[in-house]
Amino acid sequence: MADSNTTKSFGTAPVFFTAISTILGAILFLRFGYSVGTLGFIGTLGIIFLGNMVTIPTALAISELATNQRVEGGGEYFIISRSFGLNIGATIGIALYLSQAISVAFYIIAFTEAFSPLLDKLPIDEAWARRIVSIPSMLILAYIMLKRGANMGVKTLYIVVALLAASLVLFFLGKTDYSQVFESNLLSIRAGNINSSFFIVFAIIFPAFTGMTAGVGLSGDLKNPSKSIPLGTTLATVLGMIIYCFIAYKLAVSASPDDLINDQLIMSKIAVFGPVIIPIGLAASTISSAIGSIMVAPRTLQALAIDDSLPLRGLNKIMARGKGSTNEPFNATFFTSLIAFVFVFIGGVDFVAQIISMFFMVTYGSICLISFLYHFGADPSYRPVFKSRWYLSLIGFLCCTWLMFKMQPYYAMMAFVVMIILYLIVSFFHKDRGGMAAIFQGAIFQLSRNIQVYMQKKKKDSGSERWRPSVVCISRRTFENDKALQLLGWISDKYGFGTYIHLIDDYFSSATNRESLKILERLIEISGYDHNAYMDTLISPSYTSAIAQTVQLPGVSGMANNMILFEFDKDENKGIQEIIENVALAKAAKLDVCVLASSQRKIIFKQGIHVWIRSIDFENSNLMILLSYIILGHPDWKKGKIKIFEITKDEEVEKVKEKLTDLLQSGRLPISPKNIEIIEMGEHDNHKHIISERSKDAGLTVIGFREEALKHDKNVFSEYDELGDILFVNASQLREIN
């Protein structure tokens, strides 16, 4: 951050003049006549309207954001980085800086057009004739900024803005022979060839609208940014729009379409003292835009360096260094001048100018998106003094995105590719920084809340509810055996929702609460970013009370949990009795109950999942099959298959196989009939022995159980020594496979 002792010397005027001088820049004098000649007055009004569909929402959004937080040095970069996070802020900030720096060269090159009547008479190459003016002009501008700083730049800005205003006044006072015979009413002004040329002309004219945020870059030098930025930016944007409308009308009634298209300095043929005042106005507008850019660009670079956001650490130290009591960005200004000088020497920057427009669009779209997300997120700390409207910010964001591809789709794609590369570079050098900031969290929370409230209210109105698992798992053994956490990850990866709770056996206190927070951090770390279950901890003096609390709470999805997952150590049979004692509690909450008997054996995924169905607990069968299908959807199981076994009596074999095959086909489950095996069980056969023999190599074995069996058989979950991991399933009701 900038030094808090830095002198803040500027008020609202520099913001306004920097913005208005950039808005009323080179495009106004060199290309606006072409727009009116091609599209006519009505078509040009359409361009002005569409351009301001971007600029006005952006101006309002940036004014709003500036009155909610103290905007330090860097202007637009500061706002974006403090909202989207430093990595994304740096990505957009670097692109914004390069656009601002190259804009200096663009305006200097446009400045030379003011001397074209003289330069065209020189007996040398046209490009070198332009350099006779552009190179010395760039050197003089750089010297002024390096020697005198922004204060001198602002004083110079006042002079050139006065010249710009004088040239526009004389332009409006001018008359032509064409205007004397032209019937000046709106109905008689031609519309032009709008359909075929509109967006081509818009791409040429749009840089005229990119100056409204130029004054924001002076934020670090403003006495009161929350007042100066909204007032100066909004006033410049609205005034610029009005002036453009009147200029379009004046051009339409003062010259023929052919003259407007073919003479880029047609304004000099209309204005009073036009051959002199219009080149002076063009020179004033372009040099004022160049001054505005060369004041703003170094401050963006300095803010990036202060945040240590540039890829090279040594470069950050150099560019962050300021000069004097105002922390004038001397080094950043020198570096910016070098970049601008290179492009001035190259001369032709039409390609670069279109890329610049794309990066400005990205910046404006980001600002509008930030404003919209703050509105939508309803953050209590977002209390701007100046308030825009959420729909205006949304319109601005959508217009920016849409217009980028309508103007130049290839350049738009190129801009996005450059932004992605920049983000990857910044993230590589700053791995410790988060990508997205809390602004998205608020929007996501609001969206999630609204959806869940809507679903809860509409739930009664729906005739049927499609089932999907919403599982909660309670375990003490997270750091000893993570099989339950892994299983929950499989279930919640694609189709289901999962909440994993690590149980801390203790009474709640400030000490145990601190311990639980540390454990939660470990949970999130070991689960990894690709694990879709929600992690939490619970402090409770007993296992039963923990279950009683948990089954009454909604799941992470907002919907009620419909399944609970218990887990015990299969090899040592630890925790079985505790689970048996609490199954009834889970059933009282009408939950499906799953019990994972986890072993130390490594899971061989390609061996697949074996599902065992018995006639005595057939109500569990559909849930077992559905869970197996959901688990198999995880990438870990991509080489595995589901194999279904059903144990039945001899006389029912064919009937049971046909019924099971029809069930799988009607349910569109990807289980081949070849993977269905019906096993005849004799009167004295032991089903546990059969299961152990057939599934000893399975990756996961799924077996059903009945609650009432737990009352008289303590070995329901045991005596499967040859098997690996086993998932015991009890359905609260028969689940439909549809």
3-state secondary structure of 701: strand
Mean pLDDT, residues 120-125: 68
Place of tokens 């311990």: 515
Q: What are the tens digits of pLDDT across the range 650-698? A: 666 667 777 777 766 666 666 777 878 888 776 667 888 888 888 998 9
pLDDT level of residue 564 (50, 70, 90 thresholds): very high
Per-residue pLDDT at 462: 45
Q: Say which range, 73-77, 200-204, 343-347, 436-440, has the weakest mean pLDDT.
A: 436-440
Name the superfamily (CATH) of residues 12-429.
Answer: Amino acid/polyamine transporter I (1.20.1740.10)
Question: Residue ranges per domain, the chain?
Answer: 12-429, 464-596, 601-738
Query: Which of 502, 468, 504 minimizes the C-alpha distance to 484?
Result: 502
**Is the pLDDT score of 70 beyond 60?**
yes
C-alpha distances out from residue 650 to 595, 617, 684, Å: 30, 18, 13
Query: Which of 159, 147, 89, 160 minimizes the C-alpha distance to 333?
Result: 147
Per-residue pLDDT at 105: 84
Report the CATH number of the 464-596 domain. 3.40.50.620
Measured between alpha carbons, how far is 285 from 105 in angstroms, rounded to an integer? 14
Count each helix (H run) and each strand (E run) in the chain, helices first. Answer: 26, 10
3-state secondary structure of 503: strand
Measured between alpha carbons, how far is 183 from 258 in angstroms, rounded to an integer? 18
DSSP assigned state of 386? S
Question: Do the beta carbons of residue 527 and residue 535 sit within 8 Å?
Answer: yes
**Is the pLDDT score of 93 beyond 90?**
no
DSSP assigned state of 723? -
Query: Which of 186, 182, 170, 181 minimizes the C-alpha distance to 270?
Result: 170
Query: Which of 448, 501, 496 minimizes the C-alpha distance to 473?
Result: 501
Report the CATH number of the 601-738 domain. 3.40.50.620
Q: What are the tens digits of pLDDT across the range 11-40? A: 777 778 778 877 887 788 888 888 888 888
Mean pLDDT, residues 315-326: 81
**Is the pLDDT score of 372 beyond 80?**
yes
Per-residue pLDDT at 59: 83
Per-residue pLDDT at 4: 45
Q: What are the tens digits of pLDDT across the range 382-392? A: 777 777 888 89
| Residue scoring higher pLDDT (188 or 380) | 380
In angstroms, how far is the first alpha carbon of the chain from the final one? 59
Query: Which of 634, 644, 625, 649 minimizes the C-alpha distance to 691?
Result: 644
Q: Which of 61-75, 315-329, 429-443 has the highest mean pLDDT?
A: 315-329
**Is the pLDDT score of 559 beyond 80?**
no
Extract the tokens encoding 485. 């956490």
Per-residue pLDDT at 246: 92
Q: Say which range, 197-211, 225-239, 423-437, 724-738, has the weakest mean pLDDT.
A: 423-437
Extract the tokens encoding 456. 């809860």
Degrees to nearest 5, angle at CA 181 with 176 and 184: 90
Question: Do the beta carbons of residue 692 and residue 670 sit within 8 Å?
Answer: no
Q: Which of 7-11, 23-27, 208-212 has the highest mean pLDDT?
A: 23-27
Mean pLDDT, residues 348-366: 71
Measured between alpha carbons, how far is 524 from 479 in angstroms, rounded to an integer? 12
Nearest-10 crossing angle of helices 86-112, 274-306: 160
Place of tokens 């609205």: 238
Question: Do the beta carbons of residue 307 and residue 80 sit within 8 Å?
Answer: no
pLDDT level of residue 349 (50, 70, 90 thresholds): very low
**Is the pLDDT score of 203 beyond 80?**
no
Same topology between domain 12-429 and domain 601-738:
no
Bridge-based pairing state of the strands 609-614 and 592-598: unpaired
Question: Do the beta carbons of residue 225 and residue 150 sit within 8 Å?
Answer: no
Query: Which of 366, 282, 425, 368 minimizes the C-alpha distance to 59?
Result: 368
